Chain A
């Protein structure tokens, strides 16, 4: 059996319309009401990764403006995390919102993805942009954490909270992918997939595609293997090296992650947090470690230097080696 792999499955199976959005029934229902009245508020989509925030924004715009919603200039997406500085964002918004396209409905929609990556100051500046252009432009802000969005913005938006994909929906979605791709996937594998993807459908589909590149017959063992090399596998390796007393190797791998692979310190600390529960250390040491991770997370948000803070964390694990002997 040959597997068509040219297109990433997360793209191939991306929902196109609101009807194809799974697991977010209430949100889809409210958005359909909005569609029927065509009075669109500013909206804030919050929720964990891979639950359909960006896809819903696109589907909504497609249902509202038609298939050529992007080409005809009704909809634009800006990534807050990559756009350097609020000035560049403001400039982009200005150009986009200046005109109203022909055949439109009086306004455009701008999606600001990963908007919680903006600093508080940048968010205040963005709030003014929202007000300035609100007659010609509606804004959808997508964010993982609503509490990282300043209140003045929250109060100007209809807030939609996206839920993690529940097991039934996850299994359904994966089964569909497996069927269309001609894969055999075991019940245990589906269960494993839900466990390691933590309700993140993008991650689950990426995992299935990765697994499928090794075997078209997917069992739970393969899923765990894939999880080991893709999600947090290297974070765990860093922790394990520190515990094994291989401190310099741990430092090298840490640097690989931070400086070569481009993994952000916030993502790395999140992976370390997840992995720390499974480390072979005393439970009380684990609690101390978790508290340290929290401290480092906070310090990083205060602009501390990632490498030193991570080294402190790793040296804590290293210090446990003495007691274990």
Chain B
């Protein structure tokens, strides 16, 4: 599965677009008015939450009806200038027979900030009345005040969340085409947590299709009993919505996952949920304290101590969050689990290197990791691999230790990574690292 499923299963015709029937038909009507030579409005403004098919609809329509789709970035003035040039050129050609039809798609109109973006928006607004090519604008937030001018001159087409059963049946189709059997429970689970975002649901599906069995099992566990007990997502919603210590105390009641798992989910979701830096720190303080009580309970086998950890982790983040204006986002699969999965191979290699270093240096692996490894990596990074022989490192280990780490670029110029000593000499003056001053 080398291409993302979201690309592989992008709709190829308008009929394949899932959901938002009303939006689809008003888009078709708008395009029909262009075909007829009397556009209702010069531009259409497609707004709605992410992953509900706004861009996909335009792409599918263009493909189906033989349009060339010109995708432009609106977030800077250059994007707007580009549109100007395209329109100017197109108006010259429009009289010539055989010219391909075009649609201009301006994605993520609300995606950029700063004066450059404002410039882009203003330029767009001046172009639209004069265009003879359909211009489609796409944005998430329909009420962004900067977009008011574009909103008023365009046909506003609103998209909304995709219904859960529509997502579910689509996921089923995809997994069947991929030749993987996925249980209804799991599909329902993915669909329900996607919040109506089909793209994220397909992405999640891809994760499950490619994930190793352990994680699938872990998640199936979460799903299989969610009818009877509280899922980790429900627990997270309670936790980040908590305003009282009592609700925090009750959060683990009927919870199906173990506390370790829940804790990982809370810790990893915290930065998505709480953006305010001060509030984030306060929440981490509660979680760090919860961890302290929890690990103490584990170490001393004093399970009654867990009661001190639960309210801290169960309501700390919520209580802090309630003081801020943070809205919080979708709960995500713990990034730590992903991280551990992605780095498994590298971790094993590094471990094997550390074993060899430790053995040869007659020290523990722990000590070798800080006292020898950084130097060996830096020496190998200079291109001198002689030292690897002493430690009996094989070629793969040399590659892992010297390349792929980003130790050197932090301090040295990219150039100094070369084996050439003179180069090191010449760049030395160009970038000086911190000199310690107190």
Contacts and interface: CB of A to CB of B under 8 A. Distances in A.
Given A113-B364, A214-B424, A311-B267, A230 B378 contact: yes
Contacts of A247: 271, 280
Nearest to B348: A260
Nearest to A216: B421
Contact of B389 (A6, A221, A228, A229): A6
Contacts of A234: 407, 410
A322 B278 CA distance: 8
Contact of A302 (B295, B374, B424, B436): B295
Nearest to A202: B371
Contact of B364 (A79, A224, A245): A79
Contacts of A221: 428-429, 432
B117 to A, nearest CB: 20
Interface string A111-124: 00110010000000
Interface in A190-235: 195-196, 202-203, 206-207, 209-210, 213-217, 221-222, 224-231, 233-234
B6 to A, nearest CB: 22
A322 B434 contact: no
Nearest to A306: B291
Nearest to A321: B277
A233 B371 contact: no
A222 B375 contact: no
A34 interface: no
B361 interface: yes
A262 B378 contact: no
A203 B283 CA distance: 38
Contacts of B376: 8
A315 B382 contact: no
B362 interface: yes
B298 interface: yes
Interface string A266-308: 0100010000011000000000000000001001001111011
Contacts of A271: 370
A261 interface: yes
Given A215-B424, A260-B346, A79 B375 contact: no
B424 A117 contact: no
A312 interface: yes
B336 A319 contact: no
B373 A261 contact: yes
Interface in B354-370: 354, 358, 360-367, 369-370
A50 to B, nearest CB: 8
Contact of B350 (A79, A262, A277, A308): A262
A43 B429 CA distance: 49
Contact of B438 (A209, A237, A277): A277
B278 A319 contact: yes
B379 A210 contact: yes
Interface in B406-438: 407-408, 410-412, 416, 421, 424-425, 428-429, 432-438
A233 B65 CA distance: 57
Contacts of A79: 358, 362-364
B292 A302 contact: yes
A214 B375 CA distance: 12
A71 interface: no
B284 A263 contact: no
B291 A309 contact: yes
B75 to A, nearest CB: 21
A11 interface: yes
A33 interface: no
B65 to A, nearest CB: 42
A181 interface: no
A296 B295 CA distance: 13
A309 B263 CA distance: 13
Contact of B296 (A117, A296, A302): A302
A262 B351 contact: yes
A75 B378 CA distance: 34
Interface in A78-100: 79-82
Contact of B410 (A54, A233, A277, A321): A233
B102 to A, nearest CB: 39
Given A5-B384, A117-B366, A195-B436, A299 B288 contact: yes
Contacts of A256: 343
Nearest to A245: B277
Given A319-B277, A319-B280, A261 B369 contact: yes
A5 B386 contact: yes
B285 to A, nearest CB: 6
A176 interface: no
A49 interface: yes
Interface of B: 263, 267, 271, 276-278, 280-281, 283-285, 287-288, 291-292, 295-296, 298-299, 335-336, 339-340, 343, 346-347, 350-351, 354, 358, 360-367, 369-376, 378-379, 382, 384, 386-387, 389-390, 407-408, 410-412, 416, 421, 424-425, 428-429, 432-438
26 contacts: A6-B390, A114-B367, A202-B371, A209-B375, A210-B375, A215-B421, A215-B425, A224-B432, A229-B378, A229-B410, A234-B407, A248-B271, A251-B271, A255-B339, A259-B343, A262-B369, A263-B369, A299-B288, A299-B291, A299-B292, A302-B299, A305-B291, A311-B287, A312-B281, A312-B284, A316-B281
The 9 closest A-B pairs by CB, nearest first: A81-B364, A312-B288, A319-B281, A228-B411, A230-B374, A213-B382, A206-B375, A312-B284, A315-B281
